[in-house]
A = this chain, B = another copy of it.
Amino acid sequence: MTAILPESLEKLIEQLSRLPTIGRKTAQRLAFFIIQHSPPMAEELAGAISRAGARVRPCRQCFFLAEEDVCAICKAPQRDASVLCIVEESFDVVAFERTGTFRGLYHVLQGKISPLHGVMPESLTIAPLLERMRNAVPPIREVILATSPTVDGDATALYLAEKLRPFGCRMTRIGVGVAIGSSLELADELTLKHALERRQEIS
C-alpha cells in the first residue's frame, strides 16, 4: 500500500501504536477520531499529555505518582504511617485504594526483581525503602508484601523479607487464592493449589 495518509497522521498513528494494548488498527482509529473531532480536541489532549508528562514525578518518600515533592497519600494526616504496603507499581496503589480498606502508607518498588529481564534489586527502590525503614517516625510495625503472586513477585517478596527481617517488624504477604465471585473452574491449578494449602478453619 502506497502512503496515502498525510505524514503527520502516519507519525501520530506510529506514536499511538507504542502504547500498551494499542495495535496498528486501533491506533489508526484513535488518530482519526482525534483529528476529526468536532470541536477540535487535539490541542487539549496534547496539552494534557504534555502537562502530565512535565509535572508528574515519583513521590520522594514512597515513589507513588505526585506533582509535589510528596504524594497525596504520604501527606494525608489521617493515615497510619506505621503500616507499609509494598507494591510493584503505582497502578497497584490505585487498586488497593479503590478497596477503601487500607489506611497505611505505600512503597512503590517500580518493578519486581527479574534476572531474566535484567531487573536486579538495585534497579528498584529497595535502597530508599531500607533508608525509610531506618528513619521512620513513628517506627514501622508492619510491612505487607503485596508484590504480585508470580514467580518474580514471590522472589521479590522473599528477597525483601530477608532484607527487612533485621528491623524486627511484623511481615505479612497478601492472601492468595480463588478470586471472590469467580468460579473454581476458571482458576488455574497453581491458584487452586495455593487456595488448598492456605485453607482456613471454620470456627
Point out residues on A near B: beta carbons under 8 Å.
1-9, 11-12, 14-16, 18-22, 26, 28-36, 40-56, 64-67, 71-73, 76, 89-91, 93-94, 97-98, 100
Q: Which of B18, B42, B52 contacts A52 (CB 8 A)?
A: B42
Whether the pair B42, A49 counts as a contact (CB closer than 8 A) is yes
A19 to B76, CA, bound (A): 33
Q: Which of B33, B50, B54, B93 contacts A20 (CB 8 A)?
A: B33
Point out the residues of chain B lying under 8 angstroms from A71, CB to CB.
Answer: 4, 6
Point out the residues of chain B lying under 8 angstroms from A31, CB to CB.
Answer: 52
A12 to B53, CA, bound (A): 10
A73: nearest chain-B partner, CB-CB: B4
Point out the residues of chain B lying under 8 angstroms from A90, CB to CB.
Answer: 32, 36
A179 to B181, CA, bound (A): 38
Whether the pair A45, B36 counts as a contact (CB closer than 8 A) is no
Point out the residues of chain B lying under 8 angstroms from A48, CB to CB.
Answer: 8, 11-12, 14-15
Whether the pair A98, B1 counts as a contact (CB closer than 8 A) is yes
A143 to B14, CA, bound (A): 33
